[in-house]
Structure 1
């Protein structure tokens, strides 16, 4: 059974695909697909962190979803990966 956290919330597309590194402040313009993958990474990280509080560290299935998107970024836009996620 699919739960509410199994899928990303649907956000209104405002056409702004610039994303900023939360630690360095450096930003980069992404494509719509890249921006969606980026947002999913942080969504799944938050959900996994909450779920791990109940299941134990590293037990959440959402870490795999986050890793899948990180791997996608490394393959499809290494520069953006280095700026935003490394």
Structure 2
């Protein structure tokens, strides 16, 4: 009642929050994209292509730069940039 008396009908308008603050900075996103575009063998990993699990593990244990990210958020970031972790399959 006090808010209505002070502000009128504006007191009834909900002011929604903008959501949860971003945990991954733009700089970290660029690092994730750059890492996903590099072949794992060039980074000393013993496999030929990335999977979400392998890339998440590599980012969390990287000695140069550590990025803590979940697989679902990693998938969303990669999809936004048009990166697919599936191998190209050819038929002979």
TM-score range, shorter chain: under 0.3
TM-score of the aligned structures, taking structure 2 as reference length = 0.25
TM-score of the aligned structures, taking structure 1 as reference length = 0.26
Higher share of residues assigned helix? 1
Q: Which has the higher contact order (CA 8 A, sep 6+)?
A: 1
Choose 1 or 2 for highest CA Rg: 2
